[in-house]
Amino acid sequence: MVFFQIISSILVLFVLILLARYIWGMFFDTNYRPVEWENARKKGLISKELIRLERDYPDKVRFFNWWFQIERLKRDGVPGDFAELGVYKGESARIIHLMDPSRKFHLYDTFEGFREEDLKDETGEAATYTSRNFADTSLELVRRNIGGDENVVFHPGYFPRSVVSGQDDEDRRPLTADCRLALANLDADLYLPTKAGLEYFYPLLSPGGVIIVHDYNHKWPGIIKAVDEFMTTIPETMVMVPDMEGSVMIVKGK
């Protein structure tokens, strides 16, 4: 009996320590917050919602890389919309949208997970994926998560076919040659959509605009292949981002 009391007291103590550390980290642990973010926050330039999302977002480097890039685009007056390929439930899309809600934001996803035609030749981590992965979402759920703002434009369907389908439907409006992009966030996990995304979005980028590709690491050989192949066709050099999954960035030359 005494033994069980001691064990349960130790467990309770352990949980209390974890909770105290979590709460302390939420409010006082500012080491990982860049000084420019803190300055903007103190001046009231960052929305409460974005401050809350930053606290909960596990990959701080990825989060602040988006923020610094978007602040640079504002400061340098780089014109154009934002786009994301690989939206899932809209977590990254919500963050990017809140960082500059004044930009039109084009979201590309099947909103029902991967397609067999993309999966069949994959290796590495992606070879363990099936069409059931990332299928637990929907356009309606993403619309709710993002807040249903009129600047958010949905392009549902298989990418890249979704860019040309349903031209009469405003929601599926394809980007045209006169539509410029300032930022494209690519997070589709697989070789074929990533390659198609680079080929589609890069020519639409304004000078100074940026493409950010997630998962450039050994677990995702399809992403490395797509990026490396594409880099041989353009004059820019890619920049590695030391976030948790290793993003890379391409900033379009002026």
Ligand X SMILES: C[S@@+](CC[C@H](N)C(=O)[O-])C[C@H]1O[C@@H](n2cnc3c(N)ncnc32)[C@H](O)[C@@H]1O
Which residues lie near ligand X (CB under 6 A)?
86-88, 91-92, 108-110, 113-115, 118, 134, 158-159, 187-190, 193
> Which phi and psi (to 5°) does residue 211 adopt?
-110, 130
**CB of residue 49 vs ligand X: minimum separation in angstroms?**
16
86 vs 134: CA distance, rounded Å? 10
**CB of residue 111 vs ligand X: minimum separation in angstroms?**
7
First vs last C-alpha separation in the chain:
74
**CB of residue 215 vs ligand X: minimum separation in angstroms?**
8
**CB of residue 117 vs ligand X: minimum separation in angstroms?**
8
Name the E strands within the chain. 81-85, 105-109, 152-156, 181-186, 205-213, 239-241, 247-251
Q: In terms of CB distance, is 185 or 206 closer to ligand X?
A: 185
CA-closest candidate to residue 100, choices 142, 132, 143, 68? 68
Give the DSSP letter of residue 110.
-
Q: In terms of CB distance, is 29 or 136 closer to ligand X?
A: 136
Q: In terms of CB distance, is 188 or 241 closer to ligand X?
A: 188
Q: In terms of CB distance, is 8 or 123 closer to ligand X?
A: 123
Q: In terms of CB distance, is 37 or 159 closer to ligand X?
A: 159
Q: In terms of CB distance, is 208 or 221 closer to ligand X?
A: 221
- Alpha-carbon dihedral 201, 204, 210, 212, rounded to 10 degrees: -10
> Which phi and psi (to 5°) does residue 243 adopt?
-85, 180
**CB of residue 145 vs ligand X: minimum separation in angstroms?**
9
Q: In terms of CB distance, is 195 or 252 closer to ligand X?
A: 195
**CB of residue 86 vs ligand X: minimum separation in angstroms?**
3
**CB of residue 162 vs ligand X: minimum separation in angstroms?**
7
Kindly report the number of other CB atoms within 10 A of residue 46's CB atom.
17
| Angstrom distances, CA of residue 192 to CA of 43, 62, 131, 133, 207 | 43, 23, 15, 17, 26
228 vs 239: CA distance, rounded Å? 12
Kindly report the number of other CB atoms within 10 A of residue 142's CB atom.
23
